[in-house]
Every structure is written in C-alpha cells, then in structure tokens.
Amino acid sequence: MSDPTQGAVPGGDPCADAHVDCAEVLRHVQDVLDNNGDVEVLVQWTAHLRACPPCGAELEVYERITAVLRERQCCCPDDVAARLAEFGRRICAGDEPVS
C-alpha cells in the first residue's frame, strides 16, 4: 500500500499548497471533521485538504471511522419504547412507582 501521507512528512514531496502548512492542517483535521472552530480558518483548512492528497487521505480515514460509528447508533427497541411510554402515562396518571 502506498503511503498517501508522503507529501506531508519531512523529507517527503513538498505540498503544492504554499499558503497552508500541512502539519498545521493535520493537527486540526478533527476540527475540520467536526466543523469546529473559526469559519474562515476552517474554510482555509478544507481547501487545503481538497488540494493536498496526503492531508486529504488523512481526513478520509477519520471520515470512514466516524461513518462506521454513526451506523452503530441504535434506536430504542419498540418493546422498550412501549414500556417507557406506559411508564410515562402511569406517572402522569399519578400512579408513581416506588423508586
């Protein structure tokens, strides 16, 4: 497997983006992932990630991880939801269970 981060490491191919430092963007790749931070800076970092394959590959790795994690979200099962709804109705009816 080729190393897509080659251009971002010291001694590797220089990144074509002369405006933003790869190391800086890589330190903040999770902020880009979460859209967290100053909008102008995020726009600059995002543009770099699109233009720089090694940095873009790093973001893709994180995106793949978080995409998998999102799929793990489970909904409250129907039977549990029904019991909790009934529990709520009992509370509202003044039939508070002893807790």
* Residue 19 lies near other proteins (rule: CB under 8 A): no
Site residues (CB under 8 A) for other proteins, limited to 35-74: 36, 54, 57-58, 61-62, 64-66, 68-74
CB of 36 to other proteins, least distance (A): 8
Amino acid identity of 85?
A
Q: Please state the three-class secondary structure of 61-98 as a single string.
A: HHHHHHHHHHHCCCCCCHHHHHHHHHHHHHHHCCCCCC
Report, in angstroms and rounded to the nearest whole number, the Rg of the chain calculated over CA atoms: 23
Q: How many CB atoms lie within 10 A of CB 48?
A: 23
Chain residues binding other proteins by CB under 8 A are 1, 3-5, 8-10, 22-23, 26-27, 30, 36, 54, 57-58, 61-62, 64-66, 68-77, 80-81, 83-85, 87-88, 91-92, 94, 96-97, 99
